[in-house]
Structure 1
Amino acid sequence: MSEHPVLFKGYLIAGCWTRSRAASQLKGVPGKGYGAGARRKGVEVTDSERASNARAAAGPLAGLRIVEVSTYVAAPLGGMTLAQLGAEVIRVDPLGGAPDTRRWPLAPSGTSLYWSGLNKGKRSVVVDFRSERGQDLVAGLVERSGPDGGILLTNAVGRPWLDHESMRRRRPDLISLQVRGHRDGRAAIDYTVNAAVGFPLVTGPREQAGPVNHVLPAFDVACGLYSALGLLAAERTRRATGQGQQVSIALQDVALALAGNLGFLAEAEVNGERRARDGNYLYGAFGRDFTTGDGRHVMVVPLTTRHWRELLEVTGLTGVMAEVEKALGADFSTDDDRFRFREVIAGLLQRWFDDRELVEVERVLGGTSLPWSRYREFADVVGPGRSELLANPMVEEIDQPGVGRHLAPGSPLAFAGSEATVARAPVLGEHTEQVLRDVLALEPAEIAGLRHDGVIEG
C-alpha cells in the first residue's frame, strides 16, 4: 500500500481557531470570508446542510480547528468525534485519496460507505504529499491555523516533514499526537493487537478449537476516542502553560490497557487461571441467549436481584427455582451461584422460551425492567426498526454524494440545551480551494497554478 500502509498510519493534525481572530487575520484579503459555501464539481451545499453546519458550529468545541492526516479507523474516528462536537476538522489526503477512500462496504456507485461514515462533518483537502510544495501547504495549515492552533496528530513513518520537530520549528507551541501500532513504531492493526492480548481465545462456543475474532474493531474505536481525549487534554494544558505537547498513543497499548483494566490480565496473573470459552453466557453472573419457539433469538441478562425476581415471576418459575436452589444448596439471589449453576438455570428457562413465539416473549419481557433484547441483523435496524431510529435525536437522514439519502448517526453525547446535528461527509477534495483561500489566504491565481501543476486536487 502506498501513502498509508496500515491503520495506525492515520493521524490528526489539529489546531485551535478563534473565529474573531480568524476574521482579523483575513481582514483586507479579498474573498476570504469564513465559512464560504463549498462547491466541487457540481456538489452543491444545500440549505439543510448550511443549517446543519451552523448548528455544529455552535457545539461545545466551536472555535477548535483540527487538521487531520489520517486513514482507516482510529484517527478518522478521533477527528469525527471532535467535529461532531463543533470543532472544524480539515482532513488532508494525498492525491487520489488514501487507501480507506475505497474501503468496503461500497455503495452501488463505488463510493465507500466506510469512508463516508467515519468522516462526517469534516472538510476535505487533497494535496501532493510527495512534492515540497504540497508538504509546505500541509505544514502551512498547521502553522496558520489561528493564534491558538498548531496541533499535529501524525504517525507518518518516513515523512520527516510531518514529524513533531519539523513542525515545531514552524510552530513553537505545537501539540502533536501520533497514533502508532506499537510504541516502537512496528505495524499493528486491530486484528493483530486483538490476537496478541488474548480475546480471540476466550471468544466463541466451548467446543471451538481455534481463535474467534470479533467483528467490531473495538481497539481501533477506543484508540480513536483516546486520541480525541488526548488532543483536548494537551490543548487544555497549553492554554494554562503556553507550552506545546508531544503525545503518542499505540494501538497495542490501548488493547493492553483495556485487557488490564477489565481484570483479564490480573485474573491470569494473580489467580493463575486460564479463562475458558463459554459461548454467549455472561461471565460472573447470569445472562444468556435463548431461542424462541419460532426460531428467533433473544438475549436476557437479569443483572440485579430485582431483575432475577422479575424474570422468575413472568416465566412462572419462582417455585421451581426455589426447589432447585434447595436441592443444590445454592442461593440464586447471588451472582456467584447464578453463574456457578448457569446451565441448570438456562435449561429451565429455555423450556419457557420453547413454548412461546417471539411476539409473546417481547410482550412479556417488555413489561419488566429486565435488560433484554431480541437479536437483529443490520438490515432489521434500518428496515423494520427505521421508525425507532428516526425517533432518536442522534440520528438524521442525510444526503451523501455518491450514496444518496440514508440514516446516519451524530454524536452520542447529548448536551442539555444543544440541538443535535448530523453533517454529511465531504467529497474527496471538496474544500481544497476554500481552505487554501480561507486559511492560507492564497489568491485565486495561486490556487489555479497549484491545480495546474498537479499539487492539489478538488
Structure 2
Amino acid sequence: MPDTGPLAGLRVIDLTAMVMGPYCTQIMADMGAEVIKVEPPQGDNTRYISVGPAPGMSGVFVNVNRGKRSVVLDLRGDDGRAALRALIERADVFIHSMRAKAVTALGFGYDDVAAINPAIVYTNCYGYGRRGPHRDRPAYDDTIQAECGLPAVQKQLTGEADYVGTIIADKVAGLTALYATTMALFHRERTGQGQEVEVAMYETMASFMLVEHANGAMFHPPLGPAVYPRTVAPNRRPYRTKDGYVAALIYNDKHWNAFIGAVRPAWASELYATLETRAHHIDTVYGLVAETMAERTTAEWLALFGELEIPAAPLNSPDALFDDPHLNAVGLFETLDTPHGPVTFPGVPTWFSRTPGRVRGPAPELGADTADVLAELGLTAGGPR
C-alpha cells in the first residue's frame, strides 16, 4: 500500500528508547513518516520487558515501534558516528531521549546536528528540562507521577497514595513530543527554518495535572487549594449495581432533571437542584446516587440512561476492548502478518478524509534494516563502500 498519511515523505531519525519517545515516533510512522530507529548493539531495553513471541520482541516494544526500520549503530565508534551523521544529512527530524550530557559527549547535541543539517527539527525528550536544578536526575513514569501530584490526588480519592494503572507520564509526554515536533515542522514549512525542541516529562505532567487542579490556586491572592473537588470526591467511583457496576455522570442540569424525573429518589431536594449547588455538595451527591444505583441491575440502568441520554457505560477490562463492537466497527484494530505470526494492533485512533494513517508494518527485529539503510547511504558496516 502507498503511504498516504499526512507525514508521508518525512524522514525521522529516532534515537529514543522505552516509551515516551517511541510512542511519539510510532504515531509519526503510522502517519506515513519513514522512521529509522537507531539502536545500540544490545537494543532498546523495551524489547525485553514483557511477553512476546520471540526474544527481543516484547508486546510493549512491538506496539510502540511498529512500522519502523531498525539500524544498529555503535555510537562509541567512528564508523557508527559517521553513519549517523550521514543519516542526519537526509533527515527532517532528529529525536532522542538521552541525557543532555551524553548526547553532547557523543557529538550529537543540537549545534552539532544543525551544523550538518540546518533545516532539521531536533527534539529532546528529557525527564526534566535543562534550565532547572533537576536536569541531570533520572526519570521514570512512577517517579514523575509522584512528583506531579498524581498519587496525592489518588489518596484524596481512595484514601491510599497510588499510581494510576497506566504509564500515563510516558504517554502524555510522548503525545506532547509529537505535537511539539509537528508544530516545529509547520514552522519550517512556512519559513525553511529548523529549530531545537525540548519536551520534559515533569513539566509536561505538571501542566497536565494543573489543567483542572490549578483551580483556586491560580488567583492572587489564592481562592483555594490546587484541587478540583469533583475529581477527588471519595464517592466518585463506578457505581455498584445489583449485579455489577456502571459508570455514569449525571452532571449538568439537563441530565440531573431527567434522572430525578425518571427515578424520583426520596432524597431529591432544592439543595441539589442546580449544577452550582451540587458542586458545593458533590461528595454527598455521589453518595446519594450510589445508594440509588444499588437498587437496579447494570442492564436496567444502562437502558434507562440510554433513554435519558445521560452519559453512562459498562466497566470494560483491557481484554474486552479487542471485542468491543464500536471499536471494531470504526476499524481501530489492524491485524498484520508478521514473521512471528499474526499480531492485532490497536491502530490509528484519528480519521483523515484525504490522508489517512495506518499501521505501516510490524516492529523490526534488532538491526534488521542496518545493511539496507547503510547501503542507501553508500556505506557498509565497516565504513564507506
TM-score by length of 2: 0.85
Instruction: Tell me which residue corresponds to 1:128.
Output: 74
Retained in 2: the 8 A contact 1:394–1:420? Answer: no
Match of 2:254 in 1: 306
Whichever residue aligns with residue 154 of structure 1, its letter is H
Cα deviation, residue 137, structure 1? 1.0
For residue 387 of structure 1, report the CA deviation from its aligned partner. 4.1
1:331, distance to aligned residue in structure 2 (A): 4.2
Contact map agreement 2:216 2:226 (CA 8 A) in 1: no
Asked if 1:152 corresponds to 2:98, the answer is no
Aligned partners of 2:272 and 2:286: how far apart in 1? 16
Indicate if the aligned counterparts of 1:180 and 1:249 stay in contact, CA closer than 8 A: yes
How big is each residue's C-alpha offset from its partner over 1:352-403, in whole Å with a ceiling of 9 and x where there is no partner? 4323222323322233321111212212222xx344432122322223444x
Confirm or deny: 8 A CA contact 2:12 2:35 kept in the other structure: yes
CA drift at 1:112? 0.8
Match of 2:9 among 63, 81, 103: 63
AA aligned opposite 2:240: T
2:367 aligned with 1:429, yes or no?
Answer: yes
Specify the alignment match of 1:180 in structure 2: 126
Indicate the residue corresponding to 1:242 in structure 2: 192
Specify whether residues 344 and 239 from structure 1 end up closer, same or farther in structure 2 by C-alpha distance, changes over 3 A only. Answer: closer
Q: What SS class does the counterpart of residue 214 from structure 1 fall into?
A: coil
SS of 1:203's partner is helix
Contact 2:17-2:97 within 8 A present in 1 as well: no
Partner residue, 1:196:
147
Contact 1:83 1:122 (8 Å CA) reproduced: yes
Give the corresponding residue for 1:97.
43
Q: Matched residues in 2 for 1:112 and 1:193: separation?
A: 24
**Distance of 2:216 and 2:291 partners within structure 1:** 37
Give the letter for the 2:170 counterpart.
D
Q: Distance in 2 between matches of 1:237 and 1:420?
A: 22
Give the Cα separation in 2 of the matches to 1:344 and 1:225. 36
**Which amino acid is 1:412 matched to?**
P
Unaligned segments of structure 2, at least 5 residues = none
Q: Which residue number corresponds to residue 226 of structure 1?
A: 176
3-state DSSP class of the match of 1:262?
Answer: helix
Q: Does 1:380 align with 2:329?
A: no
Q: Distance in 2 between matches of 1:190 and 1:292?
A: 34
Do structure 1's residue 212 and structure 2's residue 162 form an aligned pair?
yes
CA distance in 2, matches of 1:239, 1:341: 51
The count of residues paired between Structure 1 and Structure 2 equals: 369
Partner of 1:271: 223
Alpha-carbon distance, 1:218 to partner: 2.3
Moved more, 338-347 or 166-175: 338-347
Partners of 2:240 and 2:156 in 1: CA distance: 16
Q: Of the candidates 102, 110, 117, which is equivalent to residue 164 of structure 1?
A: 110
Q: Give the CA RMSD over aligned residues.
A: 2.7
Could you tell me how far 1:108 is from its partner in structure 2? 5.3
Q: 1:260 aligns with which of 210, 218, 227?
A: 210
2-side partners of 1:207 and 1:245: how far apart? 44
Cα distance in 2 for residues equivalent to 1:128 and 1:273 = 50
Q: Alignment identity in percent?
A: 25
Match among 300, 314, 337 for residue 277 of structure 2: 337
- What letter corresponds to residue 22 of structure 2 in structure 1? P
Could you say what secondary structure the match of 2:124 adopts?
Answer: strand
Contact 1:301/1:372 (8 A) holds in 2: yes
- What one-letter code is carried by the residue in structure 2 that aligns with 1:368? L
Change (3 A) 1:414 1:268: same
Supply the AA of the counterpart residue of 2:52.
A
Check 1:390–1:341 CA distance in 2 against 1; reply closer, same or farther (3 A cut): same
Offset of residue 153 of structure 1: 1.9
- Give the aligned partner of residue 263 of structure 2: 315
Larger displacement relative to structure 2 (119-128 or 66-75): 119-128
Partner letter of residue 72 of structure 1? M
Superposed displacement of residue 143, structure 1: 1.1
2:344 is matched with 407
Tell me, in whole angstroms, the C-alpha distance in 2 between the residues paired with 1:123 and 1:152.
Answer: 15
Alignment partner of 2:329 out of 388, 391, 397: 391
Could you tell me how far apart the structure 2 residues matched to 1:267 and 1:250 are? 23
Q: Does the 8 Å CA contact 1:282/1:288 hold for their aligned counterparts?
A: no
* Secondary structure in structure 1 of the residue aligned to 2:154: coil
Question: How far apart are residue 301 of structure 1 and its match?
Answer: 0.5
Gap regions ≥5 residues in structure 1: 1-50, 451-458
What is the SS of the residue equivalent to 2:308? coil
Larger Rg computed on CA atoms: 1
Displacement of 1:414 in angstroms is: 0.9
Look up the match of 2:52: 107
